[in-house]
Amino acid sequence: MPNEFASYSAVELCRLIESGNASSLDVVSSFLGEIESSNDDVNAMISVSENCLETAKAIDNKRSRGQSIGPLCGIPIAVKDGICTKGLRTTAGSKMLETFVPPYNATSVDRLELAGGIVLGKSNLDEFAMGGSTERSYFKPTLNPWSKDHVPGGSSGGSAACVAGTMAPLAIGSDTGGSIRQPASFCGITGLKPTYGRVSRYGLIAFASSLDQIGPMAWTAEDCALLLSAVAGYDPRDSTSANVATENYLDRIEDPISGLKLGVCTEHFGDGLDSEVEKAIREAIDVFADLGADVKTVSLPHSASAVATYYIVAPCEASSNLARYDGVRYTTRAVADSLEQMYSKTRAECFGTEVQNRIMLGTYALSSGYYDAYYLKASKVRRLIKNDFDAAFEEVDLIVGPTTPTPAFELGSNLSDPISMYLADIFTVSANLAGIPAISIPCGFSKSGLPIGLQLQGRPFAESTLLSAGHQFQKQTDFHQQRPSS
Amino acid sequence: MVQPIDLETVKQVAKLAKLELDDARMDEASSQLGRILEYVNQLESVECPDGIEPFYGVVESKDAIREDAVAPSLPRNEVFKNSPDSDGEYYRVPKVLDRES
């Protein structure tokens, strides 16, 4: 039976539940039904929660007794499998953690549950979030619900495909170089990477700690505002979380666009940009202009260096973070005679090739004799990239452009050349390097029916502006209301 | 900067990173790392003004200090459930030192 709630946004589902026109159990059951009928085909979920129906019943009981059920009202949520869920297997898409069952929840999971959200299951990802297609998962690759010959993007490809495939109305992803926005773009949904530190990283399996950030994925900007409001905020258990007041991001969702200064970044419209993507983005900019935005041109002169900078900084941090997988504390160990050999064999057998490559790249770039040329130089260029944004945000409120240079690519097409895969991140990595928030919004379809995403980047902690601009755009367009046919 | 990486250097890096890779995988890694290094070497030509400070992330040089107070932590038996080998009190690992040495 098709999911009867497939066309609803999460905010609409909340209204249905609050008004008694549907129960949390109805909603959770329908999405579970969709997972049962579609997941074998799409591989968006690695594990499904065994408790979600019981939790839904408990929330319905609370509501029938007149108690508050929280802003998330018993809505089911897919959580990226790189985020720890107490008692629910968390693999990070790796053989290394194939049977890892966390003894604690990530703060973001605690918070979404406290707000009445229900963890529906754990969504697929590139191993340790290292990849842009979800083909690097130790489990099967996730397919794009819009076209099963194409990738859903990555690394939060399972989260994006869960939403696009109507297997979950909301999802949590993480974004280190575009891992929320790029799959959101490829799957025709909305995805927000908040400001670095806006959402606690406690319980997020670390990839590159100065870049990683957790964020919401959903059909609409309004739904992202709902979910971000639940998970954002300072956490003493993450010393890098920002001690900056949080807000209810729905309060300012109706803020008008008129008067906002929108910067079109010249560097985003050069060689390599697909012509259909460019056309969709130009048309979307016209929509913003019609809504009263003051459209100007801005320059981010060092953006051409962003991917190279990222592919030094991120592997360096990863090589350190992944040192903890040593066969001692986590689930899997290779048979060996000595401790040293046990480490080396476990890591050779249980890490995939992309993860091994990045660990080696980081180890090399940090090693004596190469540190200055690579890590130090990249960190200086990172400062230049951040300075570019600081200067641009003197002139404009938001920077607009494509999320990705092309729509989703075909499965397998970028697996042999690492650089071609990395270049899918060319417009997204800068926001992580600078720590600023950015959102991807559906803004069109290619002739072959693949979604196209528009990216808005904002000043630190300007999530409200990004979300309200996205919401105003979505009130004028219907790209976010399309659903894949199969 | 540096030339794309040779096989001996890759072997040394794999050793430092505790990755016991076979010859075929070592060759593959060598060519993939070479390709990536060739690409990232473009940073060599980016001019950085004198005295520019490296940027390591938004949270710069902030010490997080808390009271040294006793608080509950994870139950040991829960934590050991994920370990490949433990005696319930300690992780067990292959022999580190030879008896004779």
Contact across the interface for A435 and B57, Cβ inside 8 Å: yes
Alpha-carbon gap, residue A165 to A326, rounded angstroms: 37
Residue of A176, A364, A459 to mutate when probing chain B, most B C-beta within 10 A: A364
Contacts (Cβ under 8 Å, ≥6 apart) of B11? B26
- Contact flag A344-B20 (C-beta cutoff 8 Å): yes
Distance from CA of A18 to the nearest CA of B (A): 36
Nearest-Cα distance to chain A for B61, in Å, is 11
pLDDT of residue B58: 85
Which of A242, A219, A241, A235 has the alpha carbon at shortest distance from A170? A219
Percent of chain A with pLDDT over 70: 100
State pLDDT tens for residues A379-391: 999 999 999 999 9
Residues on chain A touching B99 (C-beta within 8 angstroms) = none
pLDDT value of residue B99: 66
B94 and A329 within 8 Å at the Cβ level: the answer is no
Q: What are phi and psi of A155, to 5 degrees?
A: -85, -15
Locus of tokens 């609050």: A18
CB A190, CB A220: distance < 8 Å: yes
Q: Is B40's CB within 8 Å of A311's CB?
A: yes
Which residues of A are identified as catalytic? 80, 155, 179
The residue of chain A nearest to residue B9, with distances taken between CA atoms, is: A364
Would you state the pLDDT for residue B1?
43
Model confidence pLDDT, tens digit, residues A339-370: 999 999 999 999 999 999 999 999 999 998 99
Average pLDDT, stretch A210-220?
Answer: 98
Nearest to A328 among B28, B48, B93 (CB): B93
> Cis omega (within 30 of 0) on the bond before A155?
yes
Looking at the predicted structure, is the pLDDT value of residue B60 above 60?
no
pLDDT digits (tens, 9 = 90+) for A18-67: 999 999 999 999 999 999 999 999 999 999 999 999 999 999 999 999 99
- Which residues have C-beta within 8 Å of that of residue A153, sequence separation ≥ 6? A132, A133, A134, A144, A160, A182, A183, A184, A185, A186, A187, A404, A408, A424
C-alpha dihedral, B13 to B15 to B20 to B24, nearest 10°: 40
Instruction: Indicate the pTM of the whole model.
Output: 0.97
Per-residue pLDDT of A298-350, as tens digits, reads 999 999 999 999 999 999 999 999 999 999 999 889 999 999 999 999 999 99
Spell out the residues 6+ positions from residue A358 whose beta carbon is closer than 8 angstroms to its own: A130, A314, A315, A318, A319
> Which is nearest to A402 in space by CA: A453, A329, A358, A468?
A453
pLDDT above 90 (res A275): yes
Contact A302 B83 (CB under 8 A): no
Tell me what the pLDDT averaged over chain A comes to.
Answer: 97
- A391 contacts chain B (CB < 8 A): no
Among all chains, which residue has been given the structure tokens 């970044």? A265
The pLDDT tens digits for A132-181 are: 999 999 999 999 999 999 999 999 999 999 999 999 999 999 999 999 99
Mutate to test the interface with A, among B6, B13, B18, B92 (most CBs of A within 10 A): B18
